Structure 1
Amino acid sequence: MHPFLQNDFHIKWSTLTPSHIEADITKALNEAQAAVDAVAQQTAPLTYANTIAALDDGLETLNHAWGLVSHLDSVANSPELREAHNKMLPKVSEFFASIPLNEALWATLKAYGTQSETLSPTKRRYIQETLADFREAGADLPPEQKKRAGEIQSELAKLTQKYSENCLDATNAWEKIVTDKEQLSGLPESALDAARQSAEQKGKEGWRFTLQAPSYIPVMTYADSDALRKEVWQAYAAIGREGEHDNRELVRQILDLRHEFAQLVGQANFADHVTERRMAASGKAALSFGDEIFQKVRKQFEQEAEQLRQFKASLNSPLPNSDSPLLQPWEVGYWAEKQRKANYAFDEEALRPYFPIDRVISGMYQIAQQIFGLRIEERRTSNAQHRTSNKEEPTLDVQRSTFDVQCSTQGSAPEEPQTWHPEVKFYDLFDSETDEQLGSFYADWHPRESKRGGAWMNYLLTGNRDSSVGPRTPHLGLICGNLTPAVGDKPALLTHREVETIFHEFGHLLHHLCGEVEVKSLNGVNVPWDFVELPSQIMENWCWERESLDLFARHYETGEPIPEELFDKMLAARNYMKASANVRQLAFGKMDLELHIHWPESAKEDLDAFVENVLTGYSAEYKTKPKSNVFNFSHLFSSPTGYAAGYYSYKWAEVLDADAFTRFQQEGILNGETGRDFRSKILAKGNSEDPAQLYKDFMHRAPDPDALLRRDGLL
């Protein structure tokens, strides 16, 4: 009767309909509140089991159920689902915000925190982390300020959800139908075939283009028509800026509320609030980190911009010393691709036939098996597409799982797992030496209008690794993307950047599935945000090495590996415009930090003008000055915190990954001993120890701050 509250390891997605959300989440909220009250009223003797662990156990059902609702909102959005989600969102947000503000609960936890009990180092760390979490959320505030803190968190949840919906709806609201093929000159066949298929799926003639990445990027990179590129660029730049999907006032409100909350809990600004317990330790330090890299690459960045202008000018006017006028922003990708071809005779489209998605994924799994000691097996699924309306429909008759959170599959035939969409695949992951099932995961790689943009990883269940409370159980996670779909009879043929995306998200997933932390809340990706990208970004390195590429980069028709000549060109072009790529990421990180540090101190009159001012030097000059993406930047504004004041983490962790990969380069790209060391000292540890110490345990030294710039050819 309560499908969202079931603890089946194989989730019955077909039963998770919007009509159940209100009743199920209400029941979960009531049970969670009872658990909170029980801990708050706990009397001596206070123990880890009847305080910290009891609180976590009491919240687990609600966390899991709401996680399912939020996940479906991301991958199977519908009017009915959105309505049900948004009806319960304020109640769920208010409940979680109330936990650290509960005076009786806080008194109990503080009292326990002063007692001595023989515990493992991990559990002792978790006690301190829990107390710190409570203080950060306002546990020590007086009653009136606690009340305001709860109100802010509830309001932030609603505003950021609306921001996310506006981005999705604005993206889906725009399309461009082209009926004259001559307007599409320059576009590769892969883009034309996809656009033709998109039009057919909508019952339209011609070629259909959207603002989803697999459609948008080829137009901006290859279309000869300046008018077409301009139209598409303007449409993308308008997301979140106009009409019923306008995010401009929402961003102002979100920034104001974040700043107010930070000051309530004693921080100067939201960036200091967010970074205090991360590796950077303060907003100022995070800003300085980015600024130091920027100063090292600034000269080369300016040279790259000028060289691109000169390149276009030389083609349009072969006279020596001709002027190099400014480019339009919708020209940059197009002329950069032409310059790269001219400099390196390299066309990235030539790589597509070597990256059929199924072969890429199977090769990636082979690499994981070889270096991390894992085995991954695909399971046949029942393809139970999630029902996104409240209309009663028959559900699949699937026998009860014989391998859920409490059980194993020994002695019986495993059931076929359901998925939320027919394209979704399901895999089991094992330790290759012991044959223990460490976990399972879903993979959902292609765009749909009901699915938010981008690529991400998430976890659905964290298995038990505490022998004192029961047997080991498997983890459950997922990875999602919006990659090039299959066209006609051809498999989905990916760009190299899309291949990197798959490896990146798989790295996050391994962090969860390989976790061996006895405290669930410290497992896997529950680490400081500027450390969480290390396991994901280091995986991208295997997309550039000949030895690893040969395991999966094979022509979809012939099975041949990437020809040596093409591979050499790919490597030669790897660091093309690398200073510009670095500055682009640095600019995002700086904008994020400046908004959360200095915007509240400004006159707060014009957000665009503020961003333009703080990013002086971080962008090339253009004829038409582009505005920031602040109103279409889901990383920063689609959740109460998310990557807010933490976008610098990508570059921070990129330094770590560039440095850590040098050990593989020295000891062997596919060296199993090195890989198992990374698994045991990084992936398995989660947040059980200080991340700086974990890094030193693997590298036997502190990070080399120049490793990234050396890899990028900038030093």
Structure 2
Amino acid sequence: MSKENNPLLQTFETPFQTAPFAVIEEAHFESAFAKAISLAQSEIDTITSNSQPATFANTIEALDRSGDQLSRISSIFFNLNSAETNDEIQRIAREVSPQLSKFGNDVTLNKELFARVKAVYDQRDELALDPEQLTLLEKQYKRFARNGANLAENKKERLREIDAKLAQLSLGFGENVLAATQEFELHLTNKDDLAGIPETALEAAAEEAKSRDKEGYVFTLDYPSYIPFMTYADNRELRETMSKAFGARAYQGKHSNQENVLEIANLRFERANLLGYKTHAHFVLEERMAMTPKKVRKFSEELLKKAKPAARKEFDELTDFAVEYLRDNHLEPIKELQKWDAAYFSEKLKKSHFNLDDELLKPYFKLENVIDGAFEVANRLYGLTFHKTDNIDTYHKDVMTYEVKNEDGSLNSIFYADFFPRKGKRNGAWMTSFKDQYIENGVNSRPHISIVCNFTKPTATKPSLLTFNEVTTLFHEFGHALHGMLANTTYRSLSGTSVFWDFVELPSQILENWCYEKEALELFARHYETDEVIPAEYIEKIKNAASFHQGLQTLRQLSFGMLDMSWHGIDPREIDDVKLHEMETFDQTDLYPDVESSCMSTAFAHIFQGGYSAGYYSYKWAEVLDADAFELFKEKGVFNREIASSFKDNVLSKGGTENPMLLYTRFRGSEPKIDALLKRAGLVA
């Protein structure tokens, strides 16, 4: 296919040069990748063949600008592979991933290029660089040094092989999880089996059944279907069926990820060793706030020490409550609490404590109102306004688009929002971008940002009503989006969310705090039928319930982070049984009996498919940052523009231009303390 009729290889003649989804076809991608890789390589060749001595401008800045078209094509394609995939896109992904990996290696293992980068790096003290320029230089030098530039030729070749193989294994891992998730369905036609399940969930299940040409109700392992079933279904045997199906995803059978897990862990370890690091975690954490596996373990153990007694107490209370509940309702007793009992009895206990449950709150959280609420919070904090538009192409009819404007009316960014589950879209929620922000030739090129979630779709009789957990999820991803939107850096590779991984969750997690504040909730929490503002007593209950089962929740998050470190912070070559290794790791954190057919690692996409390997601890790490930072907002006012401006100027707009601890202390006045998190979680008096 020629460049002339491949839209991916032309300048996008669209509003704001947004991705022209209306004219992009799957058949365009392979030739576009081939051409863009070739173009990026020629840009590298131009740098290396320059007869002039290496300078910051002709080498470091030129390198940052190179591969721009390849980056845009990659962002469009891989976002589709996550949010709107099919067999052909997955096939192309398997084809191009090794090519991209090879090109990345060709760059970082390019002797001439590294020599020029090193020449500039060696004279950095004489160059009078500003902090952002210095960070870019150090980042580029490390990109080479940390990825094999100093290796002997035979070791460079092995590094190439490992990276190509890892790219394929990661894709295969994700495909298996998606296939295993979509393969299962629970088809029910007996009304007795539906006892306890809320009407909204039943209506969605009926529509799911209809879409599959079936009578009755179909429940799936997609979160909007799975979570309500596990939380409310009275039928314990069916909860067990669903729980076991969810826990068994990609564990055994034709979609098993066991070999993928072992091979990924071993190849990452070998790669780290090749580069002179003890483990993959040592390699990763060198470029994180935490810095070392030892510090991550110490952090986790400190939290575990605080959380485990609270979790044990909560678990015992839940067990006693379940026994009493079953006895009082003349239901069959249980010997011990199982994983499929957790959400069900937890919700009932929470209701007995606070007289509060999701079904009571959902009418106040119509999706459109929550979106408007997030926009209003962003307006009050940062002066942004959001203008819905139909002039921007999308990859699916459900995707909404907005022009985001600054207070002076200038364009801030383009925002895409994709909220509903569908075939070909992976579970969960994430933020991504189709174009990064940067400044070139005096022009501030603005970003194109997207958030993707999986909320319950509107039905024939009801709009999309969110659980409170889904409300915080939307605010979380929108917090990431604001980090991208408010970016204001010169260089592409330092812009927006291009920060240390254990810092990237601060902007997202801090925004969740507004979901608990009366001043914010009253902006958007209105009953979808009566337009009544959420009652003050409900807000008080939401705040009081915020620390409910935080011991168990903290234990759960810690267990995921510890499992991650157990794969990446050791020599994994002796591990030959994925499940056994996992059980040994969970021994410190599991209060529920193990389920033989379940395995978390084989579906742990964050660390084996996403970018969280040796970094899952960062969720908890960022909670310390966000609790500490939000204390200042609470002290000065949650919509205090002075504090918001300081947060924007020192954190959100700076991207990865300086060390994150410097940015944070500039905003907060001191390094973060764990106290605010422990207090918020109710783990200390």
> Same fold by TM-score, threshold 0.5 exceeded?
yes
Residue 397 of structure 2 aligns with which residue?
422
Contact 2:19/2:76 (8 A) holds in 1? no
For each residue in 1:300-354, what CA deviation from the matched residue of structure 2 results, as whole angstroms up to 9, or x when unmatched?
A: 11111111111112233479xxx98421211111111111122222122110000
| Residue type of the alignment partner of 2:237 | A
1:585-615 CA-to-partner distances (Å, cap 9, x unmatched) read 01000110111123526x3132211221122
1:671 aligns with 2:640: yes
**C-alpha contact 2:108 2:147 (8 A) present in aligned 1:** yes
Is the helix fraction higher in 1 or 2?
2
TM-score using structure 2 length:
0.95
1:78 equivalent in structure 2: 86
1:5-52 alpha-carbon deviations (Å, 9 max, x no partner): 334322210222111111111111111111122222223332222212
- Is 1:316 aligned to 2:288, yes or no? no
The alpha-carbon distance between structure 1 residues 490 and 464, as it changes in their structure 2 partners (threshold 3 A), is same
Q: Measure, in 2, the Cα distance between the counterparts of 1:69 and 1:315.
A: 51
Question: Whole-Å Cα distance in 2 between the matches of residues 71 and 484 of structure 1?
Answer: 21
Is 1:660 the counterpart of 2:629? The answer is yes
Query: Aligned letter for 1:88?
Result: V
Distance in 2 between the 1:351 and 1:652 partners? Answer: 30
- In structure 1, C-alpha distance between the alignment counterparts of 2:561 and 2:501, rounded to whole Å: 13
Cross-structure match for 2:140 = 130
- Distance of 1:316 and 1:490 partners within structure 2: 33
How far apart, in 2, do the equivalents of 1:624 and 1:135 lie?
A: 44
Q: CA deviation at 1:473?
A: 2.1
Aligned mates of 1:513, 1:317 — CA distance in 2: 54
- The question of 1:104 aligning with 2:112 is answered yes
Q: Which residue of 1 aligns with 2:342?
A: 332
CA deviations on 1:412-434 (whole Å, 9 max, x unpaired) are xxxx11111111011111211x2
Counting only pairs closer than 5 Å after superposition, residues 247-396 of structure 1 correspond to structure 2 as 247-317=257-327, 325-379=335-389, 381=390
Offset at 1:157?
Answer: 0.3
Q: 1:437 to 1:623 in 2, by over 3 A?
A: closer
Q: Take 2:302 and 2:287, find their aligned partners in 1: how far apart are those partners?
A: 22
> For residue 161 of structure 1, what is the aligned residue in structure 2?
171
Structure 1 position 26 matched with structure 2 position 30? no
Q: Deviations over 1:339-384 (max 9, x none)?
A: 11222221221100000000110111011101112122111x2xxx
Residue identity matched to 2:645: R
Shift of 1:201: 1.8
Q: Are the counterparts in 2 of residues 326 and 623 from structure 1 also a CA contact under 8 Å?
A: no
Q: Which amino acid aligns with 2:650?
A: K
Of residues 506, 517, 520 in structure 2, which corresponds to 1:548?
Answer: 520
The CA distance in 1 between the partners of 2:520 and 2:597, in whole Å, is: 39
What is residue 440 of structure 1 aligned with on the other side? 414
Tell me the equivalent position of 2:575.
604
Secondary structure of 1:477 counterpart: strand
Distance 1:703 1:7 in 2: 45
Q: Which residue of 2 aligns with 1:703?
A: 672
Q: What CA distance in whole angstroms lies between the structure 2 residues aligned with 1:369 and 1:570?
A: 24
CA distance in 1, matches of 2:11, 2:503: 30
Is the partner of 1:449 in helix, strand or coil?
Answer: coil
Match of 1:206 among 201, 209, 216: 216
List gaps (5 residues or longer) in structure 1: 382-415
CA distance in 2, matches of 1:60, 1:66: 10
Q: Deviations over 1:447-482 (max 9, x none)?
A: 01111111001111123335xx23222111111011
| Distance (Å, rounded) in 1 between the aligned partners of 2:205 and 2:238 | 14
TM-fit CA distance, 1:254: 0.2
Q: 1:19–1:84: 8 Å Cα contact kept in structure 2?
A: no
Q: Which residue identity does 2:358 align to in structure 1?
A: E
Distance 1:445 1:6, change over 3 A: farther
Contact 1:464 1:470 in 2 (8 A): no
Query: In the TM superposition, what is the alpha-carbon distance from 1:624 to its structure 2 partner?
Result: 4.4
Amino acid of the structure 1 residue aligned with 2:205: A
Alignment RMSD (CA, Å): 1.6
Structure 2 unaligned residues grouped into runs of 5+: none
User: Could you say if the C-alpha distance between residues 102 and 92 of structure 1 is closer, same or farther in structure 2, counting changes exceeding 3 Å?
Assistant: same
Question: Structure 2 matches for 1:396-415, cutoff 5 A?
Answer: none
Do 2:312 and 2:591's aligned partners in 1 also have CA atoms closer than 8 Å? yes
Matches of 1:597 and 1:85, distance apart in 2: 29
Judged with a 3 Å threshold, the aligned counterparts in structure 2 of structure 1 residues 57 and 662 are, in CA distance, closer, same or farther, namely same
Corresponding residue for 2:618? 649
Q: Does 1:629 align with 2:570?
A: no
**Deviations for 1:401-446, whole angstroms, at most 9, x for unmatched residues?**
xxxxxxxxxxxxxxx11111111011111211x2221211111011
Once residues 499 and 188 of structure 1 are traced to their aligned partners in structure 2, the CA distance between those partners, rounded to angstroms, is: 18
Q: Give the match for residue 63 of structure 2.
A: 55
Q: CA deviation at 1:693?
A: 0.9
Return the TM-score normalized by structure 1. 0.92
Please give the alpha-carbon distance, in whole angstroms, between the structure 2 residues aligned to 1:248 and 1:292.
Answer: 31
Secondary structure, aligned partner of 1:458: strand
1:227 paired to 2:198: no
Call closer, same or farther: CA 1:429–1:573 in 2, change over 3 Å. same
Name the stretch that deviates more: 32-41 or 696-705: 32-41
Q: In structure 1, what is the equivalent of residue 10 of structure 2? A: 6
CA-CA distance at 1:629 after TM superposition: 0.8
- Contact 1:373 1:672 survives alignment (8 Å): no
Distance 1:609 1:81 in 2: 35
Contact 2:48 / 2:113 at 8 angstroms: preserved in 1? Answer: yes
Q: Distance in 2 between matches of 1:37 and 1:261?
A: 27
Structure 1 stretch displaced more, 269-278 or 45-54: 45-54
Measured against aligned partners, the alpha-carbon deviations of 1:565-595 in whole angstroms (never above 9, x if no partner) come to 3223222222111100001001000110111
CA distance in 2, matches of 1:49, 1:72: 35
Once residues 626 and 359 of structure 1 are traced to their aligned partners in structure 2, the CA distance between those partners, rounded to angstroms, is: 41
Say yes or no: does 1:141 pair with 2:151: yes
AA aligned opposite 1:6: Q
3-state SS of paired residue (1:557)? coil
1-structure distance, mates of 2:151, 2:570: 25
Report if aligned partners of 2:401, 2:414 keep a CA contact under 8 Å in 1.
Answer: yes
Aligned length: 671
Work out the CA distance in 2 between the residues paired with 1:181 and 1:252. Answer: 44
The offset of 1:621, in angstroms, is: 3.4
SS in 1 for 2:624: helix
**Are the equivalent residues in 2 in contact too, given 1:529–1:646 (CA < 8 A)?**
yes
CA contact (8 A) 1:184 1:223 kept: yes
Per the TM alignment, residue 252 of structure 1 is displaced from its structure 2 partner at its CA by 0.4
Q: Secondary structure at the match of 2:439?
A: coil
Q: Which amino acid aligns with 2:203?
A: D
1:506 to 478, 493, 496: 478
Alpha-carbon distance in structure 1 between the residues aligned to 2:20 and 2:394:
8
8 Å contact kept, 1:4–1:68 = no
- CA shift, 1:626, in A, is 7.1
Tell me the SS of whatever aligns to 2:651: helix
Contact 1:310 1:324 in 2 (8 A): no
For 1:73, the aligned partner's letter is N
Does the 8 Å CA contact 1:309/1:324 hold for their aligned counterparts?
no
| Alpha-carbon offset, residue 2 of structure 1 | 2.3
Residues of 2 paired with 1:271 and 1:451: CA distance?
Answer: 30
Q: CA deviation at 1:625?
A: 5.8
Provide the rounded CA distance (Å) in 2 between the counterparts of 1:605 and 1:250: 12
**Do structure 1's residue 516 and structure 2's residue 488 form an aligned pair?**
yes
Shift of 1:84: 2.2
Contact 1:18 1:81 in 2 (8 A): yes
What is the CA–CA distance in structure 1 between the aligned matches of 2:601 and 2:122, rounded to whole Å? 44
Alignment deviations for residues 626-671 of structure 1 (CA, whole Å, 9 cap, x no partner): 74411001101114xx100000000000100011001110111111
Partner of 2:100: 92
